[in-house]
Chain A
């Protein structure tokens, strides 16, 4: 079975600082990995995804993530945090059958002025 672990349920950074949200996965086959963001009282919005090819994936709002097979990781980064980045972030892996996402527990990002 696949699983996703997000280290740190809460992360706090200062505005302008580097954002690093950690995601590790477990999968018996090459994974397809996603990062979603959820703003308060809203649904999930796709930030970026990794399927095949280039291991460094760029997404919306200046975010990027790097797939590292040897570390079974897919950490999300952004060089400079904005106040508007405050939200909850979810890492997910697509099932082998392609019919469901398995999500990590989520990381709430707080950005201090």
Chain B
């Protein structure tokens, strides 16, 4: 079937505005991850959803960042009051772990966020 999809592919916003980034995981994948890729910090984990369990938010950089996953499928990453340092590519991944130690994460194409 289709891979992980993300929208929009590019987003330009002004400092202080809120943005929402969307991720559609591979159908049937119960685990979903958000990562951020920036020039200064490389690839960083942000948040992880697994089934109906409480999400692991340990990677979120500030309380301006939040994410939800509705119905165990689509996820939205929201950044409030955007700052220039939020400019990055936001990558979503999903997996269907046979067991937690061997699952492969499949990545979407990312959303490039530019905060002016």
Contact = CB atoms under 8 A, between A and B. Distances in A.
Contacts of B105: 46, 101
Interface in A89-111: 90, 92, 94, 97-106
Nearest to B53: A99
A51 B101 contact: yes
Contact of A45 (B59, B97, B103, B107): B107
Interface residues of B, number: 26
Contact of A100 (B48, B99, B109): B48
Contacts of A100: 33, 45, 48, 56, 59
Contacts of A104: 42
Contact of B103 (A36, A98, A103, A106): A98
B101 A32 contact: yes
Interface residues of A, number: 24
Contacts of A32: 101-102
Interface string B83-116: 0000000010100010111111111111000000
B101 A101 contact: no
A103 B107 contact: no
Interface in B1-58: 4, 31, 33, 35, 42-43, 45, 48, 50, 56
Nearest to A100: B45
B45 A101 contact: yes
A113 interface: no
Contacts of B48: 99-100
12 contacts: A34-B104, A42-B109, A42-B110, A43-B108, A98-B103, A99-B48, A99-B50, A99-B100, A101-B35, A101-B105, A102-B45, A106-B42
Given A42-B109, A99-B56, 13 more contacts: A34-B104, A41-B109, A42-B110, A43-B107, A45-B107, A51-B101, A98-B97, A98-B103, A99-B31, A99-B100, A100-B45, A101-B45, A103-B43
Interface of A: 32, 34, 36, 41-46, 49, 51, 90, 92, 94, 97-106
